[in-house]
Structure 1
Amino acid sequence: MNRSLVLFIGLACAACAISQPSKQIDLARFQSERPDFGLTRGPDGWYLSRMNGPFGTDASSEMLRFPFRTGAAEQVTFGTGSHLGRDFSWDPASRRGCFVRSADIWCANWDGERWLDTAPLPDPVNTPGYEASPQIAADGSLYFSSMRDGGPGQGDIYRAVETDRGWQVVALGPAINSPGGEWNLALSPDNSMMVFEASGRATNLSPSGDLYLSCRIANEWQPAMPMNALNTEGSELDFRFTGPRSGIFSTARIGGGAVLRHAGPEHFAECDRM
């Protein structure tokens, strides 16, 4: 599909696709005793990653879908027969959903009723390292995190563009990446803000992971700021925008579960002032 048409459609329907304010979402419906992450609005319901063991262990994650109104959760297989995975994201412009399975990024197409053409993305998006948190931006590019050879830190955030010559992948600059680790990113519907988790920074409240905010001005990502009004001594991760200035994320502790939490417009005021 022509990328300018995709961009137009994406901007036109971003508000309707992710318009429900986070304060209207009853998080108790999705919360369990196990670690729950990445609550995301998809084409046919709310998608959630749920670990089958304590946070901080090598427990696997399953993908669940909750109908929009009422009804019990059900496992999501994306047509592959396996419900294992995490980090789901949905792009209404391309009608594509992406997620992580077996340390690689996979994507599938939504035909209005079911997921089709599920497949891992090729090299150089996927590598022998660990790729995670895929997010399709309003311009059609793919942002993701990766623990790959040659990166600037322990884990880093990359931007990939599909061209006639294949995928072109570039690590974001020092405004985002550091010698520590950057993971679990999310982009606002208009691509003006990025929230991600960073570990090992001197500004962290928790060494294992705090949320950071970067504002995009004149097509450049600005130096990321810790979101200390949201950060705790636990690990904050898997932020998901539910509107232009609202979102949901999880706070987890090693050996325990994870609590779903809201973030409102006041937590993004720094970008509005720039």
Structure 2
Amino acid sequence: MHAPTQRNPMRPGIALALLVQASLLQAESIPLDALNSPLPEYGVVRGPDGYYFARSSAAFGENGAESILVLRPDGRIEPPPWASPEHNESDPYFRSDFTRVCFVSDRPDPADPHPGDADIWCAHRSADSWSPPSRVPEPVNSPAREFSPVITLSAELYFASDRPGGQGLGDLYRAVDSGRGTWDVTNLGPPVNSPGGEWNLDISPTGDSLLFEASHRFTNRSVSGDLYLSRRLPDGWSTPVPLSRLNATGSELMPRFHASGQLVYSASRDGDAQIRLVAAGDFLPVGPRLLAVSRSAHELVVIDPRTLNVLERRPAGSGPHEVAITEDGRRYLIPSHGVFPVPHSEPIRPDQMRWSESESTGYIVGDLMSQAATREYRAPCERPHGITMTAQGDRAWLTCEDSGDIVELAPDTGEVLRRLHTGPGVHKVLYLARKNRLLASNPETGEAYLVHLDDASITPLNTGAGAEALAASADENTGWVANGFARTLCRIDVESAEVDGCWPTGGAFPIALAVDERLDVIWIARSASADLAVFSIGERKVVREIPLPSNPLGMALDATGGRLFVTLPRLNRILVLDTGSATITGHIDDIMEADDLDFVPTAAFGSTPDT
């Protein structure tokens, strides 16, 4: 069975530790050549007597008949005994001991008040024979369609459905057998379910990781279906992270883990869907990390935000100032600005800082899981500075201070897709994914720019002298701009493209912003006055000032953990503050002239968009 706009997708659990645990698929090689054909195949799983999968009779995306087939050890492909080939059937899923199989079918059932739709059916195995399949009763099945049954080790049943009352086009559900012949069904709710569609899933053997396919999310590369990963938390599931190394312009479907550490899934291209295998290291998201750009050491420093230990240092080109990274941490992009403070291994006073210049070395595209994946491209201008990127890294935007362009790039190839001319001096840029717009700043002209990516129209907005730092609300309806020389903070209504107010920041030269919606404040780093200001969003004024031991430059907010990370470049240090008490709780040293900071995955830290 397939979801409204796609062939329905499926499964797996994640985390490297889980890859060595029991799996529905055994560690033998999967015979892809025998499974794949000119027709779409998907949802391969190891059963008690072969590999089970679904095949469509028509091109991918068309309404062909769907059948469940099994590839026997002797090479025969045939329907299993419990299948009904004259009906549409797919999504086979076995209990780990192979004593139960559940699948989706539109076969008739006299007890079904709404025959003809896709429902979940199950059969039981004893010895070498299977019982006749039976339709799982309401409320698991419904008058709408059900997809992708998943049986966990604890006998829970997870599934997808497009029934009314959900969050969007289709949602994921959890069902528990009461033992009295009834089921308790719960919608997984947000952030797993969304106004888009969640169609197929898998749960890891330990039950703490959820992988699913989603359509129509604003972070998708393909409208019809991308793969996402969520982790179980004490109070629910984490915000899902898209798997950018797998997702492409077609649909990625029905993933499952092979016990060897490979992922089994299907990818749709040109009317076909082929079963593929990929090593875990080629798609797993990066664990929680803090990235710091070291301007004078010309490196990217990777930090464990929990222990504050430096994990690795990577070359980042000459004089890097900013970094952009995908939601899953698998792709980052760093421009080489070529202008940087003279290196100093020891702390210095502000009046001792001197600037140095070199030719820009272009920009670097890398993967935090693989040094070998790092590539360097020639910059499209002399002084590239600001950088922002889509959630999955298929597009990026680079500011060119000399030419006044924001250049749209394809990071995988280095191709320049288009140039958006704003004005010489354009400095920082922020992608607003929900709105498909850019927010940029220009300190030289005192302007911010709203760029509509659909039609490339640009709206300049006068915000104040020294317009630089950018941030946005989580819903991206509101943008914020700090104006260093004007010492003001301006609010931009993104929909109307208007400045609807500016307020004094106090201090001297506000240079970085972090929006903390949990506390309803904006943290402002005031560089020249060597302090932080806490701006109340509701009261529209600075309500607190926090002195620092040196001039701040970059910030990153861990809203979930209640921590603010602040760079002190003259001291080669990053400070950690508790946002509740505004006290310093830790620091990281030997990060020479640190500028931009970014968390990955951003969802784990409750971060809102900022530069």
Q: Same fold (TM over 0.5)?
A: yes
Q: Secondary structure at the match of 1:29?
A: helix
Alignment of 1:141-180 (within 5 A): 141-163=156-178, 164=180, 166-180=182-196
Alpha-carbon shift at residue 78 of structure 1 (Å): 0.4
Does the aligned pair in 2 maintain the 1:186–1:241 contact within 8 Å?
no
Q: Which runs of 5+ in 1 are unaligned?
A: 1-13
**1:78 alignment partner in structure 2:** 82
Structure 1 counterpart of 2:253, one-letter code: L
**1:220 alignment partner in structure 2:** 236
**2:38 alignment partner in structure 1:** 33
Alignment of 1:40-79 (within 5 A): 40-67=45-72, 69-78=73-82
Structure 2 counterpart of 1:234, one-letter code: G
**1:131 alignment partner in structure 2:** 146
Pair 1:175–1:94, CA change in 2 (3 A) = farther
Structure 2 counterpart of 1:86, one-letter code: S
1:20 to 27, 44, 48: 27
Alpha-carbon shift at residue 19 of structure 1 (Å): 3.4
Does the aligned pair in 2 maintain the 1:91–1:97 contact within 8 Å?
yes
Structure 2 counterpart of 1:248, one-letter code: V
Aligned-pair identity in percent equals 40
Alpha-carbon shift at residue 108 of structure 1 (Å): 0.4
Does the aligned pair in 2 maintain the 1:45–1:66 contact within 8 Å?
yes
| RMSD across aligned positions (CA) | 2.4
Matched, 1:262 2:277: yes
- The alignment's TM-score, normalised by the length of structure 2, stands at 0.40
| Higher relative helix content | 1
**Structure 2 CA distance for aligned equivalents of residues 27 and 229 of structure 1:** 21
Pair 1:272–1:65, CA change in 2 (3 A) = farther
Does the aligned pair in 2 maintain the 1:157–1:171 contact within 8 Å?
yes
Alpha-carbon shift at residue 245 of structure 1 (Å): 4.5
- The alignment's TM-score, normalised by the length of structure 1, stands at 0.86
Q: Which of structures 1 and 2 has the bigger CA Rg?
A: 2
Alpha-carbon shift at residue 27 of structure 1 (Å): 1.1
Alpha-carbon shift at residue 98 of structure 1 (Å): 0.4
Alpha-carbon shift at residue 141 of structure 1 (Å): 0.6
Alpha-carbon shift at residue 208 of structure 1 (Å): 0.8
Q: Which runs of 5+ in 2 are unaligned?
A: 1-20, 107-117, 290-603, 605-611
Alpha-carbon shift at residue 264 of structure 1 (Å): 2.3
Larger RCO: Structure 1 or Structure 2 (Cα < 8 Å, ≥ 6 residues apart)?
Answer: 1
Pair 1:94–1:66, CA change in 2 (3 A) = closer
How many correspondences in the alignment? Answer: 258
Structure 1 counterpart of 2:215, one-letter code: S
**Structure 1 CA distance for aligned equivalents of residues 288 and 123 of structure 2:** 34
Pair 1:77–1:19, CA change in 2 (3 A) = closer
User: Which is further off, 97-106 or 220-229?
Assistant: 220-229
Alignment of 1:83-102 (within 5 A): 84-93=88-97, 95-102=99-106
Structure 2 counterpart of 1:158, one-letter code: Y
Does the aligned pair in 2 maintain the 1:205–1:233 contact within 8 Å?
yes
Alpha-carbon shift at residue 272 of structure 1 (Å): 9.0
Matched, 1:107 2:122: yes
Q: Secondary structure at the match of 2:212?
A: strand
Does the aligned pair in 2 maintain the 1:184–1:239 contact within 8 Å?
no
Does the aligned pair in 2 maintain the 1:95–1:110 contact within 8 Å?
yes
Does the aligned pair in 2 maintain the 1:52–1:59 contact within 8 Å?
yes
Q: Secondary structure at the match of 1:268?
A: coil
Pair 1:50–1:207, CA change in 2 (3 A) = same
